Amino acid sequence: MTTYDSDSLEVQVLTRCNHESGFTEKTVCNDHPVGGRIDYQISVKPKRCFAGKKTVSLKMVALDDQAMLEVEAACNCPTCQRLPTPDYSLPSSRCQSRGYLQCGSCRCHTGFSGDFCECSAETSAGGDAVMIVQCTQEGAKEASVCILSNIAPCSGRGRCTCGKCKCNLARYEGDYCECDRHGCKRASDDNQVCGGPQRGICQCDGTCVCKPGYTGDRCDCMKSVQQCIDPNNPAGPKCSGRGVCDCGQCFCNSGYTGHLCNEIQGGESALCTDRDVERCVLCLRDSLVKAFDKSETTGADDTSISPIANIVTPAIHSNGEVVYTSPEYANAAAVCGSACNGTVIDTARVKLIDNNEQKDDSNLCIIYTDDSCRIFFTYRYSDAIYVNRKVDLNIMRKSECAKTINILYIVLGVVAGIVLGGIILLLIYKLVITIDDRRELAKFEQQGENMRWEMAENPIFESPTTKVINPTYEESGY
């Protein structure tokens, strides 16, 4: 949006929207992407001579910032224009010795042109119009001056000099500045053209040529699948066998999540709250605890039964899985086969451990039983998950139960509390009454002290005789 004195100035604004090849007279770029580039070319010409300075305000509709241009018209001819005609026999070195300087500009001899007369007679044949036409792809083919009305020289991205284009900025290349090295699609992860120089190179036709290891129209897709394989199990399948690896990222099947699709949907709580898993764990624990309690009472001399510290002997199967062997575990797997059927628990990969053996990389779950006890078990995804989607299960041997409280003790405690409370209240009441009685007694005794008088005189006695003197009485002489 421009604001200026239209009577004195002529302002033209040319716009080039993102990925467009040339400038056009428009003020709106439709469907412009976020972060895209918009270029402007602004020309200001005076219509008449005016005194002082005129201001041209340039402002974007959606922004608060604006650019202010001060324009001053040079109405009087400069002093140098009024000097005598220069001597054409004295060429200037600034003009390649092909012209002379006039007011700081080169006036070229016949057969030469350009800002510094650098264009030779061959390239300047036919005048500047032909040279400008040569700076357009179609113009170079057709050599028609009329093409200038429809095609901008140098694709609108550079300056035509001596029939050749000098491109603007470093992003444009080519004989006609037709190649835009920043016109390709940008990667979705880092917003760099063709994913940046490490991934691909932008071609002049707007397509990306990806470097080895990358693919896609933005070179943001990795060909390698190593990102989809567990580094601890290089021979395992992609995405744990539970998803598809695309561009180095796992897209998990329904019910699974995680970077490698090695977690059950819902996270840790999904397995801890699974009723089928809970039933399986309780069955395995009961069977194993009974078996190993029996082995401890039988004695360590029985070589068929191992003590709790060494209850399992690892064995490696042909498929690479590590399972635990002992009669107790074999029996527990047989007893709880139906209870554990359909769960992610592999009964061949269960271990009974002491409570202090919990691993840092394991998920801890708690089962609350009807007898107010808590049973703990941990699980972790092992290498076997890539084969049969199972987990390693460690069941803690000891459960935590709330201590049993005798109801009689509670009743007796309540009764004793009530009786004791009553006695305390009676004592407090008795104490208050005693203090109040003593206070009243002291008050009464003080009043008795104040009421004592002498034996000969009653302090409230009044004489029954009243003497009245008659003021008019005169004593006679007889």
Burial 213-240 (b: 16+ CB within 10 A, else e): ebbbebbbbbeeeebbbbeebeebbbbb
Looking at per-residue confidence, does 320 or 468 come out higher?
468
pLDDT digits (tens, 9 = 90+) for 95-133: 888 888 877 778 888 888 777 888 875 544 334 444 555
Instruction: Indicate if the pLDDT at residue 458 is higher than 60.
Output: yes
Instruction: Indicate if the pLDDT at residue 420 is higher than 90.
Output: yes
Chain-centre distance of CA 446, in angstroms? 86
Query: Is residue 187 within 8 Å of 196, Cβ to Cβ?
Result: yes
Domains along the chain with CATH numbers: 2-76 (2.60.40), 86-173 (no CATH), 226-264 (2.10.25.10), 268-401 (no CATH)
Chain-centre distance of CA 280, in angstroms? 40
pLDDT digits (tens, 9 = 90+) for 303-313: 333 333 333 44
* Residue pointed to by tokens 């402007």: 40
pLDDT digits (tens, 9 = 90+) for 177-224: 888 877 788 887 777 889 888 889 888 888 899 999 898 888 888 888
